[in-house]
Amino acid sequence: MSTIIRLLKLTLPYRKWIALSVVLGVLTIGTGIGLMMASAFIISMAALHPSIAELQVAIVGVRFFGISRGVFRYLERLVSHDTTFRLLNHFRVRFYQAMEPLVPARLGRLKSADLLQRIVADIQNLENFFVRVMAPPAMAFLSGLLMFALLWSFGLEFALIFLVFYLLAGTIIPYLSIQLSQGLGKKITLLKSELNVVLLDQLNGLSELVINRQTVAQQQKIRDLNQQLTTLQKRMLSIEALHQGFVTLLLFGAVTITLILGIQKIEAGSFNGIYLAVLVLGIMAAFEGVLPLPPMAQYLEENKAAGQRLFEIIDQPPVLADPSVPQTFPTDSQIKIDIKDLSFYYAPTEQAVLQNLAMEIKPGAKVAIVGPSGSGKSTLARLLIRLYDYQQGHIRLNDIELRSFKQNDVRENIAYAAQAFHLFTGSVAENLRLIKPDGTEDQFLEILKIVKLDELSSTPAEILSYQIGEHGQRLSGGQAQRLALAQVLLKNSSILIMDEVTANLDVETENEILINIYAHFANRTVINITHRLSNMEFYDNIFVLKDGLLIGAATHQELLESNPFYKHMFSVYQESLLLG
C-alpha cells in the first residue's frame, strides 16, 4: 500500500478542502435521511387523521430537508470537483517537475506513447482518487455513525441491526470486490497504455504501413488489444453490478429484520407503530453512504496501478545534478574549449562511446568534427551541452570544469542545433517566438535570411505568418531543418554547435547557409558536426573520429597529406557528388 500512502501524502496541501467536501457529503446524506424519516412520519401520522398542528414540525422538516439536501448536494459536488481539479493540477505539476531533470538520460529509452499515457491518461485516472477512493469511506463512516445514533434513540436493538448489515455492506462487500477484481485494474491500465502505443505508432507510420501493405495486420493487432481491453472492462462492470446487488440485498435484509422486530415490539405494546416506517425509510436512506464503496475498491486498484507507473518515472534519480556552488558562466564570447582524456558510456555494461578523447578549440574558431555514423560525434555534442555527464576526463571552458556550471547556464550560452528536432503547429513567427518571446519581426526576418528561408513568400508578412502544419508537414525536409536551425541561431549564444543540420540540403544551398552563419558568428566559436565533407578548407581545424577515438586533428590539407582515413572519407564524398 506504499503507493496509496504516497498518493495520500500528495493530497495533504488540500486537506482542508478535502475535509470540507467530506462534511458536505455527510450533510447531504444526513439531510436525505432526515427527509425520508420526516416524510414517513407525516404519512404514518396522516393515517390517524390528526390535527394539522401535530404535523407542523414534520412538514417544516420535510421542506427544510428537501431544500437543504439540494443545496448541500450542489455544494458537495462543487467543492469535491474543485478539489479534484486542484489535485490533478498538483499531480501534473509535481510529475512534470520530477520528470524534467530526467530528460533525456533517464527517459530516452521509453516509448513516447507510453510516456504520453503516463503524463496524460494515468494522471487523469487519478481524478477518481479523491471523489471515488478517499471520500466514500469517510462519508460512509460518519453517516453510518449518525444513523446509528438516531436509531439508538428508538431502541438499541434497531441500532445494532442496522450496524450489522451496514458493516457487512461497508466492509465485506468491498473486500469481496477487491478479491474478485484483483489485478484487473492494473491489467486495464497496462492494456490502455499498450493500445495507445500501437495507435500512435500506426498514426506516425501510416504512410509506411500503406506502402508496405501492412495496414490489415496492424489493424488486427489493434482489434485484438481492444477486444482484450473490452473483455476486462466488461468483467469489471459485471463485478460492480454484482456488488451493487449484494448491497441492495443487505439493505433489504436490514429493512426486513427491522420490520419483524418492530412488529413484534408493536404487538407487545413497547413501541409506537407510527415510527416503524420512519425507521425503515431512514435505514434505506442511510445505505446511500455505502453504495460507492464496492466501486471504490475497483477504482483503488486502477489508481494504484496508475500511481505505480508514475512513481516508476519520478523515483529515478536524475543523472545530472547542478553543483552546490555553481561557477558563473563566462560573459564574453571568447571561450576556449579544452577536452582531455574524455571517456563516456551510456550504461556501465555497454561499450564506451568515446575513449580518451583530447581536443582543444580556441576562442572564435570554426571547427568541424567528422567521422562515420556511430563514431561518437553527436554524443560529444550532448556532453558539451550537459544532456549527459561524462564518466572520465575533463571538459573545461576557459579552464573551468563544465560540471561546475548550472545546466541552464550551459544551455543558455551554448546553442545546439540537433539533427532531430521538433516544430510546433502554427506559423513561422510563432515557432521563432518560442525561442525569443520578445523578438521583433526584423530580427526574425534577419535570421530567416541567414538560413535562406525567406523563399517561403515574396513579402515579409507572409513569410512570418506562413502556417507550417503539424510537425512542419507543409515544409519540405530542408525547409523544416532550416527553420529549426533559425530557432537555434536566434539564441545568439557564445558557442554554436551544429549537428548534421544541412543533411537535407543540396550542396549549393548548404554552402550558402554555412557562409552566412560563419559571417554572422564571425567572432564566436562554431562547431559543425557533419559527414558531408564540403568546404573543409574553410575550417581552422578538423577533428576526425572513428569508433569513439580521435584519429586526426589538423587542417583539411594537412589531413589529406597525413591521414589515410580522412583522405578515404573525402574521396568517397567527392565520388558521391559526381554520381549524384
Q: What does the alpha-carbon distance between residue 205 and residue 27 come to, in Å, rounded to a whole number?
A: 54
Q: CA 549 to CA 358: how far, in whole Å?
A: 9
Closest listed residue to residue 135, CA positions, set 301, 293, 294 = 293
Q: Average pLDDT of 326-350?
A: 87
* H helices present in 153-214, as ranges: 156-167, 173-180, 184-204, 206-211
In this predicted structure, what is the pLDDT of residue 244?
A: 82
- pLDDT tens digits along 112-171: 667 777 777 778 778 778 777 888 888 999 999 999 999 999 989 999 999 999 999 888
Residue 580: pLDDT band (50, 70, 90) is: low
* pLDDT at position 108: 65
Q: How far is CA 211 from CA 203, 214, 221, 476, in A?
A: 14, 8, 18, 20
The SS3 call for residue 426 is coil
pLDDT tens digits along 480-535: 888 999 999 998 888 999 998 887 788 888 888 888 888 888 888 999 998 888 88
Beta bridge partners of 496: 415, 526
Cell of 454: 525567406
Cα-Cα end-to-end distance for the chain: 64
pLDDT at 68: 93
Domains along the chain with CATH numbers? 2-314 (1.20.1560.10), 337-579 (3.40.50.300)
Pairwise CA distance, residues 230 & 232, whole Å: 5
- Overall average pLDDT of the 260-272 stretch: 90
CA distance 429 to 487: 10
> How far apart are the C-alpha atoms of 240 and 238, rounded to whole Å?
5
pLDDT at 74 over 90: yes
With cut-offs at 50, 70 and 90, classify the pLDDT of residue 109. low
pLDDT in tens, 179-213: 877 777 778 877 887 887 787 777 777 777 777 77
* All three cell numbers of 395: 571538459
SS3 197: helix
Taking only the tens place, the pLDDT of each residue in 439-494 is 898 999 999 999 988 888 778 888 889 899 887 888 888 888 889 999 999 988 88
d(CA 453, CA 33): 72
What is the tens place of the pLDDT at every residue in 381-409? Answer: 999 998 888 889 999 999 999 999 998 89
3-state secondary structure of 325: coil
* pLDDT recorded at residue 208: 74
Instruction: Go through the chain and tell me how many residues it has.
Output: 580
Phi, psi of 349 (to 5 degrees): -85, -5
Nearest to 335 by CA among 95, 496, 113, 544: 496
Q: Radius of gyration of the chain from Cα atoms?
A: 35
Handedness of CA 475, 476, 480, 486 (dihedral sign): negative
| 91-98, long-range: CB < 8 A, 24+ apart | 91/10, 91/123, 91/126, 91/310, 92/119, 92/123, 94/10, 94/314, 95/119, 95/123, 95/310, 95/313, 95/314, 98/313, 98/314
User: Got the DSSP string for 468-507?
Assistant: --GGGTTS-HHHHHHHHHHHHHHT--SEEEEESTTTTS-H
Closest residue by Cα to residue 289 from 472, 140, 495, 501: 140
Integer angstrom CA distances of residue 545 from 358, 374, 486, 532, 573: 11, 9, 27, 14, 16
Which residues in 240-277 are b (16+ Cβ under 10 Å) and which e?
beebeebbeebbeebbebbeebbeebeeeeebeebbbb
Is 103's pLDDT higher than 60? yes
The span from the CA of 502 to the CA of 485, in Å, is 9
User: For residue 74, which amino acid is it?
Assistant: Y
Measured CA to CA, the distance from residue 549 to residue 369 in angstroms comes to: 12
Cα 535 to Cα 11: distance, rounded to the nearest angstrom:
60
Sheet with 392-397: list strands edge to edge.
Answer: 354-361, 337-344, 392-397, 400-401
The answer to whether 236 and 177 have CB atoms below 8 angstroms apart is no
Mean pLDDT of 306-314: 82
Reported confidence tier of residue 422, pLDDT bands at 50, 70, 90: confident
- Mean of the per-residue pLDDT values for the chain? 86
Mean pLDDT in residue range 217-236: 87
Percent of residues, the chain, with pLDDT higher than 90: 33
* Statement: residue 1 has pLDDT above 60: no
Question: Which H or E run includes 86?
Answer: helix 52-99
**What is the rounded distance in angstroms from the CA atom of residue 573 to the CA atom of residue 576?**
5
Share of the chain above pLDDT 70, in %: 98
From 140-154, 312-326, 357-371, 556-570, the region with the lowest mean pLDDT: 312-326
Contact partners, residue 60, CB within 8 Å, separation at least 6 = none
